[in-house]
Chain A
Amino acid sequence: MDLTSEKLVRLNIEAENWEDAIRKSAAPLFENGKITAAYIDAIINTAKEVGPYIVLTKHVALPHARSEAGALESAIGIATLKTPVVFGNKENDPVKYLFCLSAKDSESHINALSELTGLLDREDFYALLDQAKEASEVIQYIKNL
């Protein structure tokens, strides 16, 4: 997962609702020049129009939009919520873990997404996200795999 870094990790954040959770999970990508503000709005507007299309598995969301919406560099953020929030996805609510994705093109993030898919299969990864106090612990875990 060379597309993530300590700067893109936010642990134990508080979110009022799903929209707030998306904004906060996307904030580090915006602050680090990976996405534009319009990209965050695109994620939220799409979710409002068509439903929680970014909730992929139990307690996990992958907030993302089309590259043209404002993806500047490919990147993956990691955010965990102090209190899980409901996204309106009956099967997988409530969401606690958000991996905000910026895909600049259709190729550069494929390996990283493949690694993320592998991580989402590991119970010890979720346990680590629950217990970690520092972003460095999460990045170290990923590097050591």
Chain B
Amino acid sequence: MEFKGLVACRAGVGSSLMLKIKLNQVISENKLPIKIEHGSLDALSGFNGQLIITLSDVAKELEAKKMPQTIIGIDNIMDKAEILTKLNAFLAANN
């Protein structure tokens, strides 16, 4: 099955776009079954996928909200190893 992931940041125009670029690199290089879209935090309420990916500080805030989705926080958006490890952990837990 393919999972849907939302990349979100506060403004939806900067960090989330860069994070989306790196996520798509990791996803295509490793052929992971995840499709990425992006937006600001406002997009969260209408999102019906399984996964939310954001920067670590935003992730901490979202975790407190008890969202139905799995939340992944990335510390260093240029670190492909960190991104891959966290996506693989999500896939392992949901397969």
Contact = CB atoms under 8 A, between A and B. Distances in A.
A98 interface: no
A106 interface: yes
B9 to A, nearest CB: 7
A56 B79 contact: no
Interface residues of B, number: 23
B13 A53 contact: no
B75 A114 contact: no
A54 B75 contact: no
Contacts, number: 70
A82 B61 CA distance: 33
B13 A50 contact: no
Nearest to B25: A117
B12 A114 contact: no
Contact of B77 (A52, A56, A66, A109): A56
Interface residues of A, number: 28
A121 interface: yes
B12 A106 contact: yes
B10 to A, nearest CB: 6
Given A53-B57, A114-B21, A91 B75 contact: yes
Interface of B: 9-15, 17-19, 21-22, 40, 55-58, 61, 75-79
